[in-house]
Each structure stands twice: as structure tokens, then as C-alpha cells.
């Protein structure tokens, strides 16, 4: 509990950094930030009002503090394109993105652990080599290309699964299948190498020597210690997968926040860009917080550095 609290406090500097980087991004945008945020053809009064509200006539440090204040009040402004509050737009789309990423990472993690385990037990024999080749291909195939191939095969060839939209569970199948291979390759290789390391430890030899069966050695002794690196990696994988998630949302018309970010960048809808960047960075930080808490549960040593 104390560990959770301490880890939660470490989130504060992260949030400050996120706020600072996005603040710098807004200042780097060409032109007057108030004009940029209000849109090119906003009325002068709107721009003036926004400039006063953001305190753009104040010195930079004051502006930064006031900016953080507006963020703390979750005041993200209105989308230029839809004229809806940015917060509502994000709240409507983010859950779909989280559902997609979480399902894909969960599937890749579970499958990767199983395949990596098989490869570790069969180290050097054909299942191991087969996994090695598949992992190399998986890690090299761009996610968006896998998505396009799946659409071609399932829409033209088979017509089995829906290729666009996000209304039912069957709509989740192809997007997840697109995202899984690359992550699976990474998880499988990582699980294999950590399991091999753990299996070389003395206490495993002891467990085998005292006559425990393979399943018990793996389940009781090896797995718990081999779980930390893949779990830690799952947090990083969430960030790495984001590029693929955005592409997948575009390919399969999945109603998520990644597609909204690309649309906002293409349409220079700066309030939306700002809000979505903040949302994704915050989500990434929270996922890694969750990962640390889970690691603390798996291995008590993590809690006392």
C-alpha cells in the first residue's frame, strides 16, 4: 500500500513534464497561440477573450502556471472542426482505443508466454527454431500492412468477418489480429530468454533434483520469476503499439481516439491535437503505473528498492 502511494506520487513530476512539453509544443506552433487555438477564421473577440483567459499577455512562467491550472480544471477548449468541447470528444473515443489496445496486448502477452515457454523447454530443437523464424517475420512486418492483407483476404477471399466499424465483438477480431503478430513476436522472444535464464538458476536445479515434475517446476518456481520482464515490457509495448493502433483505427474505421488525432493533425485542429496528445501521454503514464503495481504484487522485492 505504501508502495502504491509512493509510486502514485511519482506520477506528479511526470504530469508536470507532460504539461511542459505540450506547452512548448503550443508555443512552437507558427503564429499567435490564441489565434492558433481559436482557429484561423475565429472572430477577433473570441481570440481576444482566449488570449486573456490563457493569460498570453503575462510573462512566460506565469503563463505556464496558468496553463497548468487550466489543465487541472480539465479545460481543453473546443474543437475547431466540430465546435464540441474537446473533453467530450475524447471521452467519446478513448474507450474504444483502450479496448482495442488492451485486448491486443492481453492476447499477445498470453500467447507469447505460452509460445516462449514452449521454445524455452525445447531450446535448440525444431519448435524453438520455428518460433525464432516466425518471430523474425512478425517483428519485421509493418502492422498497417498486416491489416491491409487481412482486409484483402477476409473481405475479398472469405467474407467471414466485418472489416469496418466498431459495433459488435466480431468487429474486434480483425483489428486485434492485425496488432497481435508484432507484439507476440516480442513477447515470445522475451519470455523465452527470461525463462531460459530462470531455468538455469540453482533453485530450479534444486526443485528438479528433489523430484518435482516439469509442470510444477515451471508453474510454481520458474513462472513467477520469469514474469517480471514481460509484464514490464507490456507497459512499454502499449506506447510502441500506439503507432499500429492509430493505423488500425484508420484501416478498419474503428471509432477511436488515434484516428481522431490523425484527423486533427491533417485538419490543423489544434485544441483537439493538444487534448489528444495530453490524453495519450496521460494514458501511457497510467499504464506504466499499473505495470509497476502489478510487478510489486508478483515480486515483493520490487516494492523495496
Partner 1 sequence: MASSTPASDTPRVPLARPSAPAAAVAGARRRRLPPTGKVGLALVALILLAALVGPSLTADPDAQNLARALEGPSRAHWLGTDQLGRDLLARIVLGARVSLLIGIGATLFGLLVGGSLGVLAGYLGRWIEALTMRAMEGLLVFPGILVALMVVAVAGPGVATVVLAVGLRAVPVFARVAQTSTRSLCQREFVVAARALGASGARILARHVAPSLLNTLLVVASLQVATAILVGATLSFLGVGVPPDLPEWGAMLNAGRRYMLRQSWLVIYPGLAIMLTILGINLLGDGLRLALDPRHGRGAVLA
Chain residues that interact with partner 1, rule: CB under 8 A: 14, 17-18, 20-21, 25, 28-30, 132, 136-137, 139-145, 148-149, 151-152, 155-156, 182, 186, 189-190, 192-193, 233, 236, 238-244, 246-247, 250-251, 261-262, 265-266, 268, 270, 273, 277, 280-281, 284-285
> Got the DSSP string for 59-114?
-HHHHHHHHHHHHHTT---B-TTT-SBHHHHHHHHHHHHHHHHHHHHHHHHHHHHH
Are residues 261 and 277 in contact, defined by beta-carbon separation less than 8 angstroms? yes
Q: How far is the CB of 105 from partner 1 (least distance, A)?
A: 13
- The smaller minimum CB distance to partner 1, of residues 54 and 261, is found at 261
- The smaller minimum CB distance to partner 1, of residues 87 and 277, is found at 277
Give the whole-angstrom CA distance, residue 241 versus residue 107.
Answer: 13
Q: How far is the CB of 209 from partner 1 (least distance, A)?
A: 25
- The smaller minimum CB distance to partner 1, of residues 198 and 246, is found at 246
Q: How far is the CB of 270 from partner 1 (least distance, A)?
A: 8
- Helices assigned H by DSSP within the chain: 2-9, 11-28, 33-38, 44-54, 60-72, 86-121, 126-140, 143-151, 170-199, 202-209, 214-216, 223-226, 228-251, 257-266, 270-298
- The smaller minimum CB distance to partner 1, of residues 7 and 49, is found at 7
Q: How far is the CB of 213 from partner 1 (least distance, A)?
A: 27
Q: How far is the CB of 139 from partner 1 (least distance, A)?
A: 6
- The smaller minimum CB distance to partner 1, of residues 193 and 212, is found at 193
Number of C-beta neighbours around residue 90 at 10 A = 22
Furthest-apart CA pair in the chain: how many Å? Answer: 81
Tell the burial category of 100 from Cβ atoms under 10 Å away from its Cβ (0-12, 13-18, 19+).
buried
Q: How far is the CB of 74 from partner 1 (least distance, A)?
A: 20
C-alpha cell at 284: 501511457
Using the structure block, give the residue that is written with the C-alpha cell 530468454.
193
- The smaller minimum CB distance to partner 1, of residues 78 and 249, is found at 249
Amino acid at each position: 500500500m505504501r508502495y502504491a502511494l509512493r509510486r502514485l506520487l511519482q506520477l506528479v513530476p511526470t504530469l508536470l513534464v507532460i504539461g511542459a512539453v505540450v506547452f512548448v509544443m503550443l508555443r512552437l506552433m507558427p503564429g499567435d497561440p490564441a489565434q492558433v487555438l481559436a482557429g484561423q477564421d475565429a472572430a477577433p473577440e473570441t481570440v481576444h477573450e482566449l488570449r486573456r483567459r490563457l493569460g498570453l499577455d503575462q510573462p512566460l512562467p506565469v503563463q505556464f502556471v496558468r496553463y497548468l491550472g487550466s489543465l487541472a480544471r480539465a479545460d481543453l477548449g473546443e474543437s475547431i472542426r466540430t465546435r464540441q468541447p474537446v473533453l467530450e470528444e475524447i471521452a467519446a473515443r478513448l474507450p474504444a482505443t483502450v479496448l482495442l489496445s488492451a485486448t491486443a496486448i492481453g492476447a499477445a502477452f498470453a500467447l507469447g508466454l505460452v509460445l516462449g515457454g514452449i521454445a524455452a523447454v525445447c531450446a535448440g530443437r525444431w519448435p524453438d527454431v520455428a518460433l525464432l523464424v516466425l518471430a523474425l517475420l512478425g517483428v519485421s512486418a509493418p502492422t498497417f500492412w498486416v491489416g491491409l492483407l487481412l482486409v484483402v483476404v477476409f473481405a475479398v477471399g472469405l467474407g467471414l468477418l466485418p472489416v469496418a466499424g466498431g459495433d459488435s465483438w466480431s468487429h474486434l477480431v480483425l483489428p486485434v489480429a492485425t496488432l497481435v503478430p508484432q507484439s507476440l513476436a516480442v513477447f515470445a522472444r522475451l519470455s523465452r530468454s527470461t525463462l531460459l535464464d530462470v531455468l538455469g538458476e540453482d533453485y530450479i536445479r534444486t526443485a528438479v533434483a528433489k523430484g518435482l515434475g516439469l509442470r510444477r517446476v515451471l508453474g510454481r518456481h520458474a513462472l513467477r520469476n520469469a514474469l517480471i520482464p514481460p509484464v514490464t515490457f507490456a507497459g512499454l509495448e502499449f506506447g510502441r503499439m500506439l503507432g499500429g493502433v492509430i493505423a488500425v483505427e484508420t484501416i478498419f474505421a474503428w471509432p477511436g481516439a488515434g484516428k481522431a488525432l490523425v484527423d486533427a493533425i491533417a485538419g490543423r485542429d489544434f485544441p483537439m491535437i493538444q487534448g489528444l496528445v495530453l490524453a495519450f501521454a496521460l494514458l501511457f503514464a497510467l499504464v506504466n503505473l499499473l505495470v509497476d503495481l502489478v510487478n510489486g504484487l508478483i515480486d515483493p522485492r520490487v516494492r523495496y528498492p
